Amino acid sequence: MTKKLTRFVALLRGINVSGHNMIPMAELRSLCSEIGWSDVATYINSGNVIFSSTAKALGLEKAIERSITDRFGHTISVIVRSAAQWPAYMEGNPFPAATADEPKAVMLALSKSQPKADALILLRERAVNGEKIERVGDAIWIHYASGIAKSKLSPALFDRFVGSPVTARNWRSVIKIGEMLAE
């Protein structure tokens, strides 16, 4: 019996930011093909890999994290979601007016594990400058009303309050990833 190929997105956290954890996209695509992923494509330089595989998401996360460490020497958290999961993120955006006006100020944050029950309360306590935070399913949405640069919601704070590594993508990236997963 042949296993069915499933489309996935792997979201790499914290690569190619301010000269840290540099990974060229061509080399990342090559690495993903070497570990058995097919139909590999990347979107922008921040580590969004669209691919097909017969494996389960957790195994895919571990495989690419280990391979990145072996090849590039970086310890990177990777969060994998299936194409079947992605439309719920696109439809669950609780800030549609903000995304229409300022799509880069609305972020979808996904974590390796389900967010802790009190994560939303703790994050809201730290919100400043009109930031709004909502949870929809396993996703946490943030509207950075005054821009991300002025926020006190650091990646380390997200990780601590959520209880596992978190990575975020702006609304434009969410839409583009959805388009690529549907291809």
Q: What is the pLDDT of residues 30-78, one digit of tens each?
A: 999 999 999 999 999 878 999 999 998 889 999 999 999 999 999 999 9
> Cα separation of 180 and 117, whole Å?
32
pLDDT tens per residue across span 71-110: 999 999 999 999 999 999 999 999 999 999 999 999 999 9
Q: Can you tell me the mean pLDDT for 142-159?
A: 93
pLDDT band at 1 (very low <50, low <70, confident <90, very high): low
Average pLDDT over the chain, rounded to an integer: 94
pLDDT recorded at residue 172: 95
Domains annotated for the chain, with CATH where assigned, are 6-82 (3.30.70.1280), 86-182 (3.30.70)
pLDDT recorded at residue 22: 84
